[in-house]
Structure formats: structure tokens, C-alpha cells
Structure 1
């Protein structure tokens, strides 16, 4: 079984993914780390030197490669992973794959992302919490079509990570 975690930046995909993988005794994979390994550059460097379109192509190919592996794992995707190219279609059509949308409220995302925005290429240029909130609101509107196709939606707002993992496991079995 492959468990694919999706949701907006700051929704907890990596932290939940690590704990979920541990609880299910599965390997944990992080899409950004997989891209950095394949490209030999950080995500920020890829965005700066080659642009977002190049990044999205690489991301899509790495997702497809991961889904073709025989091994089971938990994968934390990037926030945009399911929204580009045919990624969501591939996720939904691949057997033994369960996609989970970690849905966090906008105020929670703003709080989590504002202090770390400089390390996130899509957010670094945003200079206030109000501008960040508008940006997130617009992105969530655009991405909701993809996120809402996930096999399961789990609230990832103010719940602690252990409770979110517990809710996911309850939904899986």
C-alpha cells in the first residue's frame, strides 16, 4: 500500500507523514527530498535557476516513478504536486494507492507559514500576514478541485499530530 498525503503548504504533510509511517511500520518519503536527490539541488535553487514549470515537470515524473515502485510507503507530496499535469489522475488510477487530503483552515496555515515563508520559494515575496492570507485563499480555491478528489479528507487544523495520525489510521482500517 502507498499512502499519499496531500494538502497545502503547512498542513502537516511531513510531520504527520513521519509519524504515520512509523505507526504503520512503513518507509517515509518526502517529495521535496526526492526531487532534491534526483536534481542535486535544493527546491529553492531549482525554482531560482530553472523556474516553476521545470520543477513541476520533474516533480510529476518523480511521482510517477515512486508510484510504480513495488514497495509500500508513506509519501508527503508538495502542496502543488496533485495539481499539475496528470498527477491526480495517476494517483487515483494507480492500484493500492490511498490519497489523503490534510485539510487545515486558512488562519492555521497563515500562522504556520508566515515565520518560515523565506524558505519557501512561492511565499518568500509576500510581506505581510494579510497578503499571505490572500495568497493562500486564492491557491486553495484553485487547488480545491484536486485536493477534494483524495480518497480521504482529514482535518489537520488544531489537532496535534498524534491525533491526526490516529484519525487517518481509523479511516484506513
Structure 2
């Protein structure tokens, strides 16, 4: 089984993925980290040197490769992965994949991400929490049709990581 975690940056894909990996004894792969390893370059460097189209093609290629594994796996996607090409169709058509959208509200994401913006190139330039909330809102509005196609939706607002992890495990 491949448990595919989908959601906006800051929604908990990495932290919940780590907890699920330990509790279920599944390998954990972050798709962006996997791409960086395979391409010997950071996502930022790939975008700068080869462009977004190249990155998105590689993203789809590696997504397919990981979904074809015969191992039990937690796969944490980049926030934009479900929104490009036919990536959601690829995920949903795989009989061994379970897609879970970790849904967080815009205010909760803004409050969390404003503290970590320096580590996130996409939002590093945004100065205030209000401006960040506006940015996130526009992004989520565009991405929602893709995120909502996931088989399961788990609302993360005002829940502990343990509670979210337990909710996800019940769905499997």
C-alpha cells in the first residue's frame, strides 16, 4: 500500500508522514527530497537551471515510479504536485494507493507558515501574516479542485499530531 499525503505547505504532510511511518512501519518518502536526490540538485536549482516544465515532468515520472513500488510506503507530496499534469488521475487510478488530503484552514496555515517563511522560497518575500493569508487563500482556491479529489479528507485544525495520525490510520 502507498499512503499518499496531499495538502498545502504547512498542513502537516511531513510531520504526520513521519508519525505514520513509525506507527505502521512503512518507509517514508518526501517526493521533493526524492527528486532532489535523483536529480542531484535542489528543487530551487532545478527550477532555476532547467525550468518548471522540466521539474513537473520529472515530478510526474518519479511519482509514477514510487506508486509502482511493491513496498508499503508513506509518500508525502509537494503542495503543487496534485495540481499538475494528470498527477491526481495517476494517484487515483492506482489500486494500491490511498490518497489523503490533510486540510488546514487559511488562518491556521498563515499563523504556522509566517514563522517558517525563511525556509520556504515561495513565501519568503511575504512580510505580514495578513499578506501571507491572502497569498495562501489564492493558492488554495486554485488547488482546491485537485486536493478535494483525494479519497479521504482529514481536517487538521485544532488537532494534535497524534489525533491526526490516529484519524489517518483509521482510514487505512
Q: Give the TM-score normalised by the residue count of structure 2.
A: 0.94
Residue 89 of structure 1: how far off its partner (Å): 0.3
Q: Which runs of 4+ in 1 moved over 4 A?
A: none
Residue 47 of structure 1: how far off its partner (Å): 2.6
Identify the residue that residue 3 of structure 1 maps to in structure 2. 3
Identify the residue that residue 157 of structure 1 maps to in structure 2. 157
8 Å Cα contact 1:114/1:129 also seen in 2:
yes
Identify the residue that residue 67 of structure 1 maps to in structure 2. 67
C-alpha separation between the residues in 2 aligned to 1:107 and 1:160?
17
The answer to whether the aligner puts 1:48 opposite 2:48 as a matched pair is yes
The answer to whether the aligner puts 1:127 opposite 2:127 as a matched pair is yes
Residues 104-152 of structure 1: CA deviation (Å, up to 9, x unaligned): 1111111111122222232122222222111110111111101101110
C-alpha separation between the residues in 2 aligned to 1:159 and 1:42?
32
> Cα–Cα, structure 1 residues 98 and 14, in superposed 2: closer, same or farther, change >3 Å?
same
Unaligned runs of 5+ in 1: none
Deviates more, 1:59-68 or 1:83-92: 59-68
Residues 29-73 of structure 1: CA deviation (Å, up to 9, x unaligned): 111110110111112222333333322222111101111122120
C-alpha separation between the residues in 2 aligned to 1:119 and 1:53?
23
Q: Give the TM-score normalised by the residue count of structure 1.
A: 0.94
Identify the residue that residue 169 of structure 1 maps to in structure 2. 169
Deviates more, 1:122-131 or 1:91-100: 122-131
Aligned residues: 172
Unaligned runs of 5+ in 2: none
Identify the residue that residue 18 of structure 2 maps to in structure 1. 18
CA RMSD of aligned residues (A): 1.2
Identify the residue that residue 82 of structure 1 maps to in structure 2. 82
8 Å Cα contact 1:11/1:157 also seen in 2:
no
C-alpha separation between the residues in 2 aligned to 1:80 and 1:114?
19
